[in-house]
Amino acid sequence: MDNSVTVNPKGAEPYDIMIRLGFDDLCDALTSIFPPSCKICIISDINVSKLYGDELKSALYKSYKNVDLLELTLGEENKSLDTVSKCYTHLTGLKYGRNDVIIALGGGICGDISGFVASSYMRGISYVQVPTTLLSMVDSSSGGKTGVNFESYKNMIGAFKMPRLVYINTSVLNTLPDREYASGMAEVLKAGLIKDGSFYEWLINSFSEINERDTEIVTEMIARSIGIKKYYVEKDPYEKNERAILNFGHTVGHALEKYTDFKYSHGECVALGSVAAAYISWKKEYLSMEEFYEIRDMFVPFGLPISLEDIDTDRVIEYLKSDKKNTAEGIKFILLKKIGKGIISTDVTEEEIREAIGQINYVED
């Protein structure tokens, strides 16, 4: 099943998100945007490059003669200005100009770094996202948020840079490890919880096919998730207001990523953060007790955690307070007014946060 979605962010050039079962249509899509005379630099995680680097280059060689591949070792510890500097050195060494193109082949870290490089190299060149993880397909590859970590701050240095094209080849999910696939499901479930209750129910009813990676079901799931992301990006492309609702589960989630020294994946921490946010939503009487427990328990069939052992709540709150998304009014939390409706809240108290963290804190007797 092929799908295409066009994103029209205010103040930025529209771009297509193409969902395909292979790389066959990528070259034609690129030539409709970029002339064959331009140079293309593929930036990729070295592990992803081993799987798909040659295949992608072969697809591009149909029309482009100047294609090279920059392989990087990428993890949270490499999501830094040092890695960005390596990209600048490569691009300047090969004399890339403002009319040339970067393609990000990989997961969210690769896309964030490549997008930031594209936003800043020669004051901005074009880039294309070719995401290879479920998480990057449904979330980070579209929307234009780029960035790197700085000291203990996640994504502290960055820019908004919209891609010219997002090309999703769902066949690459066949080689994605189960834990990484589950990580992406946290963002998918989040999408339904904040915007579309019927989609959330569909996910729950389809969990067997989703876990089996049924091509038709997964394609529909990705397309519907992207549709929700598109809604917020078009309304608020630079996250001045409503787009922040996409950060449901991320307030506690980002703090837990730092607290666990990134031993837990982004999606795993978002799942835990979503349980905490749903708990606060229940305590504020937005959700019923039954709805809270259903939300909590439904992460489990998708291979996601709902608790951690022996959490140091004080340390988590310390990380949480340093989050760049906080405002002068207070810690910005995304809560659920109901299943399918996320809201922005700045009146969550520290006591409520501590109680919510207690809900995901497993302490052995």
Write the pLDDT tens digit of every residue in 67-76.
Answer: 999 999 998 8
Tell me what pLDDT residue 154 has. Answer: 79
Segment 145-165 mean pLDDT: 89
Strand partners, 269: none
CA distance 335 to 57: 44
pLDDT of 289 strictly over 70? yes
Q: What single-letter amino acid sits at 314?
A: D
Segment 276-290 mean pLDDT: 97
Domain map (residue ranges) of the chain: 3-175, 178-362
Contact by Cβ (8 Å): 315, 259 = yes
pLDDT of 152 strictly over 90? no
Tell me what pLDDT residue 79 has. Answer: 92
Segment 122-144 mean pLDDT: 95
Percent of the chain with pLDDT over 90: 87
Fold classification of 178-362 is Dehydroquinate synthase-like, alpha domain (1.20.1090)
Sign of the torsion formed by the C-alpha atoms of 248, 165, 163 and 72: positive
pLDDT of 326 strictly over 90? no
Q: Work out the pLDDT band at 174, boundaries 50, 70, 90.
A: very high
Question: What residues are labeled active site?
Answer: 123, 145, 187, 229, 239, 243, 247, 250, 254, 266
Please indicate whether residue 12 or residue 312 has the higher confidence score (pLDDT). Answer: 312
Segment 95-111 mean pLDDT: 96
Tell me what pLDDT residue 75 has. Answer: 86
Segment 186-195 mean pLDDT: 98
Q: Work out the pLDDT band at 323, boundaries 50, 70, 90.
A: confident
CA distance 17 to 165: 6
Residue linked to tokens 């001045």: 240
Strand partners, 104: 43, 129
Across the chain, where does the E strand assignment appear? 3-7, 15-20, 40-45, 67-72, 101-106, 126-131, 145-150, 153-160, 165-169, 308-309, 333-338, 341-345, 361-362
Contact by Cβ (8 Å): 174, 138 = no
Tell me what pLDDT residue 342 has. Answer: 97
CA distance 194 to 209: 23
**What global pTM score does this model have?**
0.94
Candidates 3.30.300.30, 3.20.20.140, 3.40.50.1970, 3.40.50.300; CATH matching 3-175:
3.40.50.1970
Tell me what pLDDT residue 153 has. Answer: 78
Q: Which two tokens stand for residue 1?
A: 């099943």
Please indicate whether residue 91 or residue 13 has the higher confidence score (pLDDT). Answer: 91
